Amino acid sequence: MSYSDFTLDRVRKTFGLTISNKTDIFASVHEVDCPPLLAEVLRENVPLALASNTEKSRSEMIIAPILIALRKYLNNQISLFSGIDFTVDSTQGLNGNCDFIISRSSELLILNAPVVTIVGAKKENINAGLGQCVAEILAAKLFHEREGNNIQTIYGTVTTGTNWKFLKLIGQVIEIDLSEYYINDIGKIIGILSNILTE
């Protein structure tokens, strides 16, 4: 079993979680000005990614440029990992590769805690990716504990590249923001990601 095998119901039952659906968890987060280079890249890349309409094209042409722009926006004080193995506890199924992991450390060669996980939605189905994202958030919690970081709130997101949904774990409660954020509001998406990484 791996992260991608978890449905939301399965991860909830397996780990004894409470699911809390909320609206506008990040309403108070201010949007940031979209960097001109990112705006130009997205103008070129989004139509290409949507035309081929594969998870890989969305990952490479939309998600990765957004995360690279986020890193630059945060003065390169975060690191970004794509497709790396994040096996934390294979006995509990918390193993496998993560689409993207952002670390709050600027170290580029080694993954350091604290981390935020990003799941690329399969077949553009964000809700189907929620279970995988929660499993990765739980793995991040264990990873933080092992690294000696007692972080109270752990975040994750599921995205198609054009739509973004954010989650957070506090104790045994997973809060899922029922609001989705869209690529035409990229300043809000970068604002939320920035807020998560700097709080």
For residue 65, what pLDDT is reported? 98
Note the residue count of the chain.
199
Give the three-class secondary structure for 117: strand
Give me the residues of the chain with pLDDT under 70, please.
none
pTM: 0.95
For residue 11, what pLDDT is reported? 97
For residue 53, what pLDDT is reported? 86
For residue 1, what pLDDT is reported? 83
For residue 123, what pLDDT is reported? 86
Burial of residue 7 (CB within 10 Å: 0-12, 13-18, 19+) is middle
For residue 124, what pLDDT is reported? 87
CA 25 to CA 10: how far, in whole Å?
Answer: 24
